[in-house]
Chain A
Amino acid sequence: MRNIAVLQGLTFAASLCIALPALSQDTGTLKKIKDSGAATMGVRESSGGLSFTTGDGKFAGFHVELCQRALADVQKQLGLARLDIKYQPVTSQNRIPLTQNGTVDIECGSTTNNAARQKDVAFAVTTYVEEVRIAVKANSGITSIAQLNGRNVATTTGTTSVQLLRKHERATGVDFKEVFGKDHADSFLLLESGRADAFVMDGQILAGNIAKSKNPADFKIVGEVLAVEPIAIMLRKDDPAFKKAVDDSLKALIKSGEMAKIYDKWFMQPIPPANKPIGLPASEATKAAWANPNDKPAEDYAKK
């Protein structure tokens, strides 16, 4: 669920060309990290509480911290005196090629684990489950998607939510009047100014926008979950030793209860740059993923 620019598309095409020949050269990420004493973490500039920049080339977020913990465990496992972590910003378009060609060893952003991507890369156990939800004005009385029949529904151009709404209309016969914002802030403004009665988007983005609004109490997230997507840390394919190391580290965090604490830190406590909390408690789906660590693709979630 991302916005895309033309240039990024070109970068993607260019990086594909670089990626292909390099595919088979790597002989295990653990060996590479041991030999070089360094690991490269792929991070996002702005993926809500999961992965974001705090300026000056520094990155933080729920997935960034999980990766830092996992790499610390890897360092211990390898018996390295020190391990340099390099941060490499990636985009939706180049993250897979950069992981494949070895530029990035571990991608800690907001990548959906789906069947198509599993052909190219591997995923660690799911650590966050994104739910597509509906945000409305608190006083609107809207509590479910069925009530949006004939109403204006905002979503952001260039995201999969647009297609999701269209599918939903077809399946249920509900007729929305879609209004497209050019970015998430614009879509939220449509809701705020009353041009739209609802804003359909990833729960995390909705919660973040509500937290940043002038009066967060005026808005609420309601209704059924429209779609579910497992978000996971992305790794190179066919590297079971490294995947096991990362998975074991994540499972240990879940077992000790640290996972829930780290989640709380990034989604419930105030975070930079605005020092406001996102205010999104861990969903049942996220808790279920923690209770039963797995790397199932999104398609398996849709079947339920």
Chain B
Amino acid sequence: MNWDWQVFCKDTIDGNMVPRCFGGAGDITYLDWLLSAWGWTISVSLLALLVALVLGSIMGILRTAPHRGLVLLGNAWTELFRNIPLLVQIFLWYHVVPALIPPLRGVPSFLLVVLGLGLFTSARISEQVRAGIQSLTGGQRMAGLAMGFTLPQTYRYVLLPMAFRIVIPPLTSESMNIVKNSAVAFAVSISELTLFALQAQEETSRGIEIYLAVTGLYFITAFAINRVLHFVEQRVRVPGMIGGGG
């Protein structure tokens, strides 16, 4: 196997080697392109994660509320977004929904994919948040209410602080998944790592080097998220509680 890592130093237009590997003045090397693609992957992932955490938490909470309508709404949301394949959902947001609602045609595909990926992941997070809340004994909720807290106060000060601590490990996996799932963005023309890999290996015929570099960046990104959430998990640990390391 002959390695040719110099391929990243080539200009993307004429294929000539660029000294020091970074282009300038309108010249773009494959390394420049790789880094910009990494930027797109990170942007899509983090924004989608934000959408997913907010909506997933809300839906997860609704599913444990003592109100049949709210539970139904939360369940319907979760099952809808959980049971349609991610790539199909992205396709629906990109091609089908704008055909039905013409004003959506002007929405940039970046926002559509953030929304699509965020909604898909929100269903999974809602399931985890629900599980976290239901893992607490029923007495906690009753105790909160008996103390004179309103229902929202009971959630805010009694249930959620424990529930979220319990579900940090599955949330960590989900946050890492979103980085890998962001690869679907290539289907809607976002110039992220997967699109870069597909295109650059065709242009350079150095597929193995390109894919190894892209694999490395996905790993680094997902692992960085893992470390950040691990740090959070350590910091918020309550001694004596589940997973508190007593």
Establish whether residues B203 and A163, one from each chain, have CB atoms under 8 Å apart when the complex forms: yes
A78-86, A137-145, A177-185, A276-284 - interface stretch:
A177-185
Query: CA of A59 to CA of B198 in the docked complex: distance in angstroms?
Result: 28
> Contacting B208 at CB < 8 Å: which of A4, A9, A159, A178?
A9
User: Which B179-218 residues have a C-beta within 8 angstroms of A?
Assistant: 186-187, 189, 191, 195, 198-199, 201-203, 207-208, 211
A167 to chain B, nearest CB (A): 6
A170 to chain B, nearest CB (A): 5
B232 on the interface (CB 8 Å rule)? no
Query: CA of A15 to CA of B48 in the docked complex: distance in angstroms?
Result: 41
Residue on B nearest A2 in the bound complex, by CB: B202
B122 to chain A, nearest CB (A): 24
Establish whether residues B207 and A160, one from each chain, have CB atoms under 8 Å apart when the complex forms: no
Residue on B nearest A189 in the bound complex, by CB: B95
B170 to chain A, nearest CB (A): 29
B98 on the interface (CB 8 Å rule)? yes
B99 on the interface (CB 8 Å rule)? yes
Given contacts A157-B186, A179-B189, A180-B195, contact A13 B202 (CB under 8 A): no
> Contacting A193 at CB < 8 Å: which of B98, B202, B207?
B98
CB neighbours (8 Å) of A194 from chain B are 105
B175 on the interface (CB 8 Å rule)? no
Establish whether residues B186 and A4, one from each chain, have CB atoms under 8 Å apart when the complex forms: no
Establish whether residues A158 and B189, one from each chain, have CB atoms under 8 Å apart when the complex forms: no
Query: CA of A189 to CA of B98 in the docked complex: distance in angstroms?
Result: 13
CB neighbours (8 Å) of A274 from chain B are none
> Contacting A4 at CB < 8 Å: which of B1, B13, B105, B201?
B201
A94 to chain B, nearest CB (A): 13
CB neighbours (8 Å) of B186 from chain A are 157, 180, 182
CB neighbours (8 Å) of A12 from chain B are 207
Query: CA of A6 to CA of B99 in the docked complex: distance in angstroms?
Result: 33
A117 to chain B, nearest CB (A): 11
Number of B residues, CB within 8 Å of A:
21
CB neighbours (8 Å) of B198 from chain A are 3-4, 157-158
A259 on the interface (CB 8 Å rule)? no
B57 on the interface (CB 8 Å rule)? no
A186 on the interface (CB 8 Å rule)? yes
Query: CA of A58 to CA of B6 in the docked complex: distance in angstroms?
Result: 43
Q: How large is the interface on A (under 10, 10 to 19, 20 to 34, 35 or more residues)?
A: 20 to 34
Establish whether residues A182 and B98, one from each chain, have CB atoms under 8 Å apart when the complex forms: no
Query: CA of A181 to CA of B95 in the docked complex: distance in angstroms?
Result: 12
A255 on the interface (CB 8 Å rule)? no
Interface centre among B95, B189, B208, B211 (most CB of A within 10 A): B189
Given contacts A167-B13, A170-B13, contact A4 B202 (CB under 8 A): yes
Residue on A nearest B198 in the bound complex, by CB: A158
CB neighbours (8 Å) of A13 from chain B are 1, 208
B193 to chain A, nearest CB (A): 13
CB neighbours (8 Å) of B99 from chain A are 193
Given contacts A157-B199, A193-B98, contact A9 B189 (CB under 8 A): no
Interface centre among B13, B95, B199, B203 (most CB of A within 10 A): B199
Query: CA of A166 to CA of B29 in the docked complex: distance in angstroms?
Result: 13
Establish whether residues B187 and A158, one from each chain, have CB atoms under 8 Å apart when the complex forms: no
Residue on A nearest B184 in the bound complex, by CB: A182
B12 on the interface (CB 8 Å rule)? yes
Establish whether residues B95 and A159, one from each chain, have CB atoms under 8 Å apart when the complex forms: no
Query: CA of A194 to CA of B203 in the docked complex: distance in angstroms?
Result: 28
Query: CA of A195 to CA of B199 in the docked complex: distance in angstroms?
Result: 21
CB neighbours (8 Å) of A170 from chain B are 13, 26
A193 to chain B, nearest CB (A): 6
CB neighbours (8 Å) of A162 from chain B are 199, 203
Establish whether residues B199 and A186, one from each chain, have CB atoms under 8 Å apart when the complex forms: no
Query: CA of A163 to CA of B200 in the docked complex: distance in angstroms?
Result: 9
B191 to chain A, nearest CB (A): 8
A19 to chain B, nearest CB (A): 15
Query: CA of A189 to CA of B92 in the docked complex: distance in angstroms?
Result: 13
A selection of 16 A-B contacts at a CB cut-off of 8 Å is A3-B198, A4-B202, A4-B207, A6-B211, A157-B195, A158-B202, A159-B202, A160-B202, A162-B203, A163-B203, A166-B13, A170-B13, A179-B189, A180-B186, A180-B189, A194-B105
**Interface residue ranges, B against A (CB under 8 Å):** 1, 12-13, 26, 95, 98-99, 105, 186-187, 189, 191, 195, 198-199, 201-203, 207-208, 211
In the complex, besides A3-B198, A180-B195, 20 extra interface pairs with C-beta distance below 8 angstroms are: A4-B201, A4-B207, A6-B211, A9-B201, A9-B207, A9-B208, A157-B186, A157-B195, A158-B199, A158-B202, A160-B202, A160-B203, A162-B203, A163-B12, A163-B13, A167-B13, A170-B26, A180-B186, A193-B99, A194-B105
